[in-house]
Amino acid sequence: MTTAILADPVLADSGLTDFASKFGQVIAALAIFLGVLGLIFFAAGRATGRLSRPLAVLVFLGPAVLLLLIGLVIPAVRTIYLSLKSDDSSRFVGVKNYDWAFTTSTIHQVLINTAEWIVVAPLLATGLGLAVALLVDRLKRQALYKSLIFMPMAISFVGASIIWKFVYDARDPSQPQVGLLSQVVIALGWSHPPNWILSHPLNNFLLMVILIWTQTGFAMVVLSAAIKAIPNEIVEAARMDGARGRRLLVWVTIPMIRSTLIVVLATVMITTLKIFDIVRTMTGGNFGTQVLANEMYSQSFTEFNYGRGSALAVILFVAVLPLVGYNIVQLRKERSTK
């Protein structure tokens, strides 16, 4: 890439100026942040006696609490409030926005799609992750397989969507294909494959493949750690009793990792509910693929229907609530037993 910059002095120059000014902003922001913090630490550190402890609590905890209030608590309350008002927030409309969400046929489709996503994608991702975690251990070079299956986790949903949009590219069957999927099915003898992304309801599942592709590695890593943490004695005892193969799996391994399995499932479900990037990049919500999180975004920031957008955000919140709640309870339980 450096050769390209050198080849074009004008571009290189404007790029450098841009870089210098933006980099300057970052350095300035970091310097101000750390400088202010240093000053406060210095000043508050000199305080002694009865004031010193309340002051320490204020300085250490204050910024985090303030940010959480401004960034999450107050906005959440305001969103609930906005969801009861009209789209331009000028008057109260009661539950009209919620009524709209549950009775409009387009939103019906959105809710059905979202429900399909929550059921199919987390189950497949967790199931595949579990299968890999169980099977990969006795292969040579297992670390390589694990790394490659885990890798999509580092890729953004937008990047992943572009990767798969290319796989799903479809041309007229008379022309040479560019998309891998069309090429493969034609080679297998299906002479007129459909235009994948346009065919509803298949396209919903093709979009889910992208999420499954990124989340299987996550499930694999967490479940693999759980399987390895199963105590010695239990597996040995089961083997003494004659448990082998599938029976050992069904009666010992799965029950022992049950709580981890559910936490993984719930975590992927939360990710799925809030999925937005994939649909936005692949179809923009067209062709019958719209989901809740993206519809909320379109209502709020494309059509500026703040009332409706807020109502959809509240519905999302209510759907996520039990899942996150479950995870929090589980995690606290684990901490307290350690």
Partner 1 sequence: MSSVGAVEAVTAESTRDEPPAKLVRRTFSNPIASTLIIVLTILWTVPTFGLLVTSFRPAEQVATTGWWTAFVHPTLTLSNYHTVLFVGGYGVSNGLLPYVINSLAITIPGTVFPLVIASMAAYALAWVKFKGSDIVFFTIFALQVVPLQMALIPLLQLYSGGAHIGSVAVIPNLHLTGTYWPLWLSHTMFAMPLAVFLLHNFIAQLPRELMEAAQVDGAGHFKIFRTIVLPLAAPAIASFAIFQFLWVWNDLLVGLTFAGGTPAVAPLIARLNQLSGSYGSHWELLTAGAFISMLVPLAVFFALQRYFVRGLLAGSVKG
| Residues of this chain, 3-22, that bind partner 1 according to CB under 8 A | 4, 8, 11, 15, 18-19, 22
Stretch that binds partner 1, among 103-111, 114-122, 197-205, 326-334 (CB under 8 A): 326-334
Structure tokens at 328: 């929090």
Task: Pick the stretch among 90-98, 103-111, 190-198, 226-234 that binds partner 1 (CB under 8 A).
Answer: 226-234
Q: Answer positive or negative: Cα dihedral of 278, 316, 212, 106.
A: negative
Q: Least distance from C-beta 100 to partner 1, angstroms? A: 17
Q: Quick one: which segment of 36-44, 103-111, 115-123, 192-200 binds partner 1 (CB under 8 A)?
A: 36-44
Which residues between 70 and 89 bind partner 1 (CB under 8 A)?
Answer: 70-76, 78-79, 82
Contact with partner 1 (CB under 8 A): which of 36, 39, 51, 56?
Answer: 56
* Amino acid of residue 88: D
Binding positions for partner 1, 234-293, rule CB under 8 A: 235-236, 239, 244-245, 248-249, 253, 263-264, 267, 270, 273-274, 276-277, 280-281, 284, 293
Which tokens go with 288? 């019958």
At residue 303, what are phi and psi to the nearest 5 degrees?
A: -100, -5
| Alpha-helix residue ranges (DSSP H) falling in 202-305 | 202-228, 232-240, 245-248, 254-256, 258-273, 277-282, 292-301
CB of 24 to partner 1, least distance (A): 10
Separation of alpha carbons 8 and 337, rounded Å: 63
CA distances to 28, 68, 202, 324 from 18, rounded to whole Å, are 15, 33, 45, 42
Closer CB to partner 1, residue 95 or residue 180? 180
- C-alpha neighbours within 13 Å on the C-beta side of residue 80: 7
Q: Could you tell me the smallest distance in angstroms from the CB atom of residue 120 to partner 1?
A: 18
10 Å Cβ neighbour count for 168?
19
Nearest-angstrom CA–CA distance, 124 and 69: 37
Q: How far is the CB of 83 from partner 1 (least distance, A)?
A: 10
168, 173, 175, 178: CA torsion to nearest 10: 10
Interface with partner 1 includes 198 (CB under 8 A)?
no
- The least CB distance from residue 299 to partner 1, in Å, is 10
Residues 84 and 92 sit within 8 Å (Cβ to Cβ): yes
Nearer of residues 100 and 297 to partner 1, judged by Cβ: 297
126 sits near partner 1 (criterion: CB under 8 A): no
- Smallest distance from the beta carbon of 214 to partner 1, in angstroms? 10
> Counting contacts by CB under 8 A, is residue 221 touching partner 1?
yes
